[in-house]
Chains A and B, each alone.
Chain A
């Protein structure tokens, strides 16, 4: 059992922090948060070519996280691999002792830095969860028996602020059926939305991790404009807390804000844990945790 699943299954609040795999082979910066926070957090999220931008392989990065003393949560996207590659990647993760998985469709290629790449999507996120569940039961996607079964703690994404919500809940339901045991949301700034979503959810046997993000000044500038194309809303009163600040001060204010949201989520039991996105910077992640402890 992974530390993340132990924490969540025991009903303890889980903190996962996201790392930023490099575009290159210098892994020092990526691993700084692991060295600083391994004792304080349950796991380290490792994105898989996040936003369709080319980065170090998530599998390799997860191995490095383990070697640095942390527990990885490997993301795996359907965008870049067909079912053969996904299945062997899952077996590869299992043999390295990587149990926590976040299985996602993946942002479309034209939104990233290799827009002419061929998008794969041979499998969707529901089917990938099913594949992982089947592997755990000892068979691959065509029913062949495995020589040694993997063990995973399966996660997926759910969007509480989706409009319309119906199709999102349909997929959520399928993901639960397909074996998802925990869900991670996109960044949350409006806790009322999270609360509403929790109320709407029937009693599914799953855990919810709310993402908290340190916005960049560019994102904050766009957040209240018609150009904003994210699946989460940033309320005006939140943006006001960041106005008038620049550069590092802006990011530190964003971290303090994330810290206060974390504290509220934990106190009011709005989620079973949080997933912190702070550019993979140890100093900002520490500020979030310190702000939450106040």
Chain B
């Protein structure tokens, strides 16, 4: 058979007509590249600056203040907390409020003046190694130069030789900077987001597309019964995935599990249900199964990029961080990394639990409102 131009052109014309009719697919073709362009171009930054830092200055001297100024001027550190005890610093790091904590010991200036090269402690939350590397390098450079301005006159001799003080770095939670420790627990959240939304996204659209919805609506079944009934089976699927990731984390990647695994098991339920609710809600909006899959993808892409899974959360500009804070994956990543790597308990994870719960409530309310009990 010969290639016939007219027949070929008939297909081309038909494809264009169908493309024009299916607005969502058309939107995907334009929207996805735009989202990627904006997120990769503006939001993602692998050299994060302005990281929140706590300072515990037991020695309030001119040298301490100069050092703190030096930190600020490096533009890697934003001093957001003035801590009053080492315990407070530990809490701030565990609750993910700061990325770094600087401790200036009591006798810092005395030892400095004696030329004893005192130690300064820089602690980092290294669960995500890529978030702290550049900032740490900047600090070690600081030690040799930051006090030059203060070390004048009789003190000038301290300048000439080795650095007047040492910065001791402690990488908390992941001292060897093993990126698997960060990636593998995070993968649990990413997998759940993708599969849970996709599966349930199809759940109600399939009923509508196959005509079984009309039948279902003519029975006495209530919307709540349908939605909850469709969510529960997939909760079990979600738990199977969680178990698989945890087993792999333990036996293949040797990820440390400092916190309580049963606690993680309990808390992951909230996250699974939140994602299932997103899927169900999408499926009440989508007209067919293809649209449901496309909506799932629309949600998944920002989740992947803005949650802090692929790129350091704190490297993103404010608007992107605000967007990221709305996504359940962002908070779940902090929960799972906190429990496994930091050994966090329920108290430390609470700040990230209520946003997921709030998200779930809002989405479920939309879903139940959108699920119509009639065909109007």
Q: Does A associate with B in a complex?
A: no
Give A residues with C-beta under 8 Å from B: none
Binding site for A on B (CB under 8 A): none
